[in-house]
Amino acid sequence: MSSNLICPSMMCSDFSSLEAEVEHLDRAGIDIFHLDIMDGHFVPNFGMGLQDVETIRKLTNKLVDVHLMIDNPGEYVEKFADLGIDIIYFHPEADTHPARTIDKIKKKQKKVGIAINPGTSIALIEELLPMIDYVMVMTVNPGFAGQVYLNYVDRKIKRLACLKHNYDYQLMVDGAISEEKILTLGQLGVDGFVLGTSALFGKEESYEELVSKYKSGDEV
């Protein structure tokens, strides 16, 4: 049985000591550094900047993804690919031609991820599933840390967990993911977890202790 993919949401990290944060998380054995990019339009907030992305990319050899919570994400694929990002998530809800954006990502030889908001139906993305590598289900309305998990999304997660056996994608979740949610969602078939203040940052336990526990999913 493969271990859970653990993906720290770097928006929640301590930016006054970003280099140390990256080094500690890297040493703790995280799998993917998760970087939120927001434009103030698609979501009502602004996220990490290009300098943040460049800095984190230079500090680690681990996989780095970007979550493009922006309008017209296809226009920015090349920019982030050229910064060395490994996985590019975008929202089909924000893209007039999502299949074209997927093709752009693949042409840059990057992994393709689609992210879907809590209110987005599987029907909107089902035609894209054969073309992508990751599906990330938002379990809060995107844009801000510290929100409450939306339980009605579990039904969609279960359905996508079933569908992944027909395709070749990994199922991820992002938003208010607590210790308990890692266990229960892992049992539903979720492969990876984006973790912020609910489970990783600002805790008494070290990153090493937390990541080790979360990767196994046991006794969380």
Calculate the dihedral angle through the C-alpha atoms of 47, 49, 50, 52, rounding to the nearest 10 degrees: -100
φ, ψ of residue 171 to 5 degrees: the values are -100, 125
For range 197-210, the mean pLDDT: 96
Q: For residue 154, what is the domain's CATH number?
A: 3.20.20.70
Give the pTM: 0.96
Q: Which residues are CB-neighbours of 56 under 8 A, at least 6 positions away?
A: 10, 18, 22, 33, 35, 64
pLDDT in tens, 69-92: 999 999 999 999 999 999 999 999
Lowest mean pLDDT among 47-61, 111-125, 136-150, 191-205: 136-150
Residues recognised as catalytic? 36, 174
**What's the pLDDT tens digit per position in 19-47?**
999 999 999 999 999 999 999 889 888 88
Angle formed by the axes of helices 207-216 and 179-188, nearest 10°: 20
Q: Which domain holds residue 188?
A: 5-216
Helix then strand then coil, in percent of the chain rounded to 5, is 40, 20, 35
What's the number of domains the chain is made of?
1
**137-146: average pLDDT:** 86
The neighbouring-strand residues paired with 46 are: 39
Band (pLDDT 50/70/90 cuts) for residue 143 is confident
Does 220 score more than 50 pLDDT?
no
